[in-house]
Chain A
Amino acid sequence: MHFTPLPYLDPGSGSILIQIAIAALLALAVAIRASWSTIKKWFGIKSVKDEDDDDADDK
């Protein structure tokens, strides 16, 4: 993996490890939610569309 040069601020070892752990946890939650909608689809239940437009406030 190619990293950029070391940052000028110390990100802190603990801060790096915890954010990776939190992000992994969140990804897991997303995966569960995604498979949940697949399960619902099997039973013919419509899933709500994800609101994911960050650019809405650009206008």
Chain B
Amino acid sequence: MTTQTTNDGQLAASFRDPSGFLFSSGGVLYRQVNRAYEQEYTRLMESGLYEKLVKAGLLIPHVEVEQTPAESETSFKIIQPERVPFISYPYEWSFGQLKSAALTTLSIQKRALKLGMSLKDASAYNIQFVRGKATLIDTLSFEVYKEGEPWVAYRQFCQHFLAPLALMALKDVRLSQLLRVYIDGVPLDLASELLPSKTRFNFGLLTHIHLHAGAQKKYSGSVNEGVKSRSASMSKQAMTGLIKSLETTIQKMDWTPRGTEWGNYYDITNYSDAAFEHKKQLVGEWTKRLQPALAWDLGANNGVFSRVVSSVGSYVVSFDIDPAAVEQNYRQVKNDKAENLLPLLLDLTNPTPAIGWANRERDSFGARGPADMVLALAVIHHLAISNNVPLPQLAEFFAETGKWLVIEFVPKPDSQVQKLLVSRKDIFPNYSRDGFESAFKAKFTIHETVEIHESERVLYLMESH
């Protein structure tokens, strides 16, 4: 992976918290724990909280290692966390994924409080999907809890989780994309303005979003004596009540897609069962032959073919543009307890950009590659025809994205292509099997060409050169 680092190997995204930072050395990812964090780290490890959270699959496991620190004068310990197979971001998650991440954060906070600690941040970027479960990956997120202190991460939790979830569930699921613009979460005044007025009758949303936004506005720029002298206090019981209130509010929120999008993707294509099975069989055979460690399924729908690949043992990231498909895919991952499949939201015509400070905090789609194998099934016509991308540019894109490519060519007479051309001029004279093959041969060696049974479509196995 080409995750961005600074000159000393420190990860570019790891600079906010003075407790420590991530750095990479010899291709291995380490976390330096600073001396300033000694007390908290020791408490985490010795109180039994670490063990409890790791056992519950809520916190990433790590080992303490004898590694030369990246900054020896500040270093207390070096730890090596378990490597996350693929880093994803909240604006790439479905509703259910963001909800799982939120509930994981609250569940950790409840357990931490019981053992005398508290989360000092509640960033959605600290959560990743590990073995299919939303997991905290920042071992240094804990502080020693002092009775009376309010939750310092409350604002961040509401902005990173509660506001986007409420907007997705109660306004429009596409509003998750606000997280791509606002790296520290959706501003609460914006969420309050966008949410339907009926949400004021929901106790959780009234208080944690609408009144919270009002309080932020009222006290912004003014120095409140209670806060300044830090005498504003709340008991542990009150804190627990606050966490439970957030939890109940989130648990009650749901988003289930309506209409034809839900559940019948493959009913609306022109596949016969034989064609579908033939395609599955080919994908399975080729995956077994290649044994890719990391596969990306681009345009995965609800992940039928991703599952063919993951069943062989590969880790599959299953991308689709449709939030309903990603949601359905994630629900199945949860249901199956699948450990090596990650559904994500992605618009291939405008893939995730690099964002944050100096554009180096969160990686772009491409920077998280290349994959060992890329699947592009029934997707080429959307890119070449709906989005007008010339075939040579498509070949170049796929060659940069992965070493092996399993791609399906959907010819012009196919009803799915005809549908795309029904109300527009056919300006694609090169969109033919010959045109496709010659464009891709410039970047790939074609190893297999198989006509799919009972269909005019062709499946290719190619290797980039």
- Which residues of A does B touch, CB under 8 Å? 1-4, 7-9, 11-27, 30, 54-55, 57-58
Q: Give CA–CA (A16, B52) in the complex, Å.
A: 29
B:26-67 near A, CB below 8 Å: 52, 55-56
Inside 8 A of A11's CB, which chain B residues have their CB?
150-155
Q: Any chain A CB within 8 A of the CB of B233?
A: yes
Question: Chain B's nearest CB lies how many Å from the CB of A1?
Answer: 5
A23 close to B238 (CB less than 8 A): yes
Kindly identify which residue among A2, A14, A20 contacts B220, using a CB–CB cutoff of 8 Å. A14
Inside 8 A of A30's CB, which chain B residues have their CB?
241
Q: Give CA–CA (A47, B146) in the complex, Å.
A: 33
Q: Any chain A CB within 8 A of the CB of B211?
A: yes
B:117-171 near A, CB below 8 Å: 120-121, 143-144, 146, 148-156, 158
A4 close to B219 (CB less than 8 A): no
Question: Chain A's nearest CB lies how many Å from the CB of B419?
Answer: 46
Task: Give the residue among B153, B154, B218, B245 with the most A Cβ atoms within 10 A.
Answer: B154
Inside 8 A of B154's CB, which chain A residues have their CB?
11, 15-16, 19
Beyond the given A25-B207, A54-B111, please list 15 additional residue pairs across the A-B interface where CB-CB is below 8 A.
A3-B149, A7-B152, A8-B18, A9-B16, A11-B155, A12-B219, A15-B154, A15-B158, A17-B215, A17-B232, A18-B215, A19-B154, A22-B245, A26-B245, A30-B241
B16 close to A8 (CB less than 8 A): yes
B18 close to A13 (CB less than 8 A): no
A13 close to B242 (CB less than 8 A): no
Q: Give CA–CA (A5, B19) in the complex, Å.
A: 13
Task: Give the residue among A3, A15, A55 with the most B Cβ atoms within 10 A.
Answer: A15
Give the nearest-CB partner of B238 in chain A.
A23
A58 close to B120 (CB less than 8 A): no
Inside 8 A of B224's CB, which chain A residues have their CB?
13, 17
Q: Give CA–CA (A57, B56) in the complex, Å.
A: 7
Question: Chain B's nearest CB lies how many Å from the CB of A47?
Answer: 19
Give the nearest-CB partner of A58 in chain B.
B56
Q: Any chain A CB within 8 A of the CB of B259?
A: no
Knowing A3-B146, A54-B110, say if A15 contacts B155 (CB, 8 Å): yes
Knowing A13-B227, A14-B218, A58-B55, say if A7 contacts B120 (CB, 8 Å): yes
23 interchain pairs (CB within 8 A)? A1-B148, A3-B148, A7-B143, A9-B120, A13-B219, A13-B220, A13-B222, A13-B223, A13-B224, A14-B212, A15-B212, A15-B215, A15-B216, A16-B150, A17-B219, A18-B212, A20-B234, A21-B211, A22-B208, A27-B235, A54-B107, A57-B107, A58-B55
A14 close to B120 (CB less than 8 A): no
Question: Chain A's nearest CB lies how many Å from the CB of B265?
Answer: 32
A22 close to B242 (CB less than 8 A): yes
B121 close to A14 (CB less than 8 A): no
Give the nearest-CB partner of A24 in chain B.
B238
Inside 8 A of B231's CB, which chain A residues have their CB?
1
Inside 8 A of A24's CB, which chain B residues have their CB?
234, 238
A26 close to B241 (CB less than 8 A): yes
Inside 8 A of A16's CB, which chain B residues have their CB?
150, 154, 227, 232
Give the nearest-CB partner of A55 in chain B.
B111
Inside 8 A of B218's CB, which chain A residues have their CB?
14
Q: Give CA–CA (A58, B151) in the complex, Å.
A: 24
Give the nearest-CB partner of B244 in chain A.
A26
A17 close to B226 (CB less than 8 A): yes
B242 close to A19 (CB less than 8 A): yes
What are the interface flags for B1-36 relative to A under an 8 Å C-beta threshold, 1 for contact and 0 otherwise? 000000000000000111100000000000000000
Inside 8 A of B146's CB, which chain A residues have their CB?
1-4
Inside 8 A of B214's CB, which chain A residues have their CB?
14
B:290-321 near A, CB below 8 Å: none
